[in-house]
Amino acid sequence: MNIPKSFIPLINPFSKDNPVIVQILGICSALAVTAKLEPAVVMTISVTAVLAFANVIISAMRKTIPTSIRIIVQLVVVAALVVIVDQVLKAYAYDVSKQLSVFIGLIITNCIIMGRLEAFALSNSPWPAFLDGIGNGLGYGWVLIVVAFFRELFGSGTLWGFRVIPQWLYDHGYQNNGMMILPPMALITVACIIWVHRTRNKDI
């Protein structure tokens, strides 16, 4: 496949360099927000937005940041962005913000964000850093959404809150798997994705 070289930071995180299933980062939030599809999607959007902006800002500041306090500087920038996202949601999308209250704050602790700032934004110019942020945010997001899809389908019998498992199946003795909505199954689902992914990509 011929990808323009400048788009590599955008494409790589989807598979070859995926933050969740290859670098095993951000697992904690992948467990927390994947019991239902909707929070997983909103989390994907929020993380992608915060990561893209944080990458651009840190990348623009990279020549001025004193190396001894660079982690603190990154933390302050990420924390400020997350607070702004939270405040904007509270003012203009109150219902969404109510659903996600704690998860928005938890974006700060997502290791992918600090990882990308440290590994990419500090040594690249803003445009590639922006692409890298979008790529990693979405690369993280598709894993989240796949996990949430299976957990909501088998755990609650719904997708996006709508019932998809028909009533006659329940009448014939089918039951939702309560285990699916508990965190351990998220780990097992992620492990299954990693298994399939490594089987298809022998070089990893």
Partner 1 sequence: MINRQSNFYTIIYSALLVIIVGVALALVYQALRPAQVENMADDTRRQILAAARIYPTDGMTVSELYAKHVTDSYIVNDHGEKIDPDINAFDINIGEQVKLPENERKLPVFVCNTDSGIKYILPVYGAGLWGPIWGYVSFDSNGDTIYGAYFAHQGETPGLGAEIEKTEFSSQFDGKNVFNSNGDFTSVMVVKAGREPKDGTPYVNAVSGGTVTSTGVQNMLANSLRPYSAFLKSKSEHTEQ
Tell how far CA 138 is from the center of its chain.
7
**Half-sphere exposure (CA, 13 Å, Cβ side) for 87?**
6
Please check whether residue 40 is in contact with residue 147, taking contact to mean a CB–CB distance below 8 angstroms: yes
Q: Which of 2, 4, 102, 172 binds partner 1 (CB under 8 A)?
A: 102
Q: Is 28 in the site for partner 1 (CB under 8 A)?
A: no
Q: Which of residues 140-159 bind partner 1 (CB under 8 A)?
A: 152, 155-156
State the Cα–Cα distance between residues 62 and 90, nearest whole angstrom: 31
What torsion, rounded to 10 degrees, do the Cα atoms 140, 141, 144, 150 define? -140
Q: Is 64 in the site for partner 1 (CB under 8 A)?
A: yes
Q: By CB under 8 A, which span of 58-66, 133-141, 166-174, 187-195 interacts with partner 1?
A: 58-66
Nearer residue to partner 1 within complex by CB, 80 or 164: 80
23-26 LR contacts (CB < 8 Å, sep 24+): 23/115, 25/111, 25/112, 25/115, 26/110, 26/111, 26/112, 26/140
Structure tokens at 178: 């309560």
Q: Which of 10, 18, 20, 36 binds partner 1 (CB under 8 A)?
A: 36
Q: Give min distance, CB of 81 to partner 1, in A.
A: 10
State the Cα–Cα distance between residues 21 and 119, nearest whole angstrom: 18
Q: Give min distance, CB of 66 to partner 1, in A.
A: 4
Residue whose pair of structure tokens reads 């508990």 in the numeric block:
182
Nearer residue to partner 1 within complex by CB, 24 or 179: 179
Q: Give min distance, CB of 128 to partner 1, in A.
A: 23
Q: Which residues bind partner 1 (CB under 8 A)?
A: 33, 35-36, 39, 64-69, 72-73, 76-77, 80, 83-84, 87-88, 90-92, 94, 98, 101-102, 152, 155-156, 178, 181-182
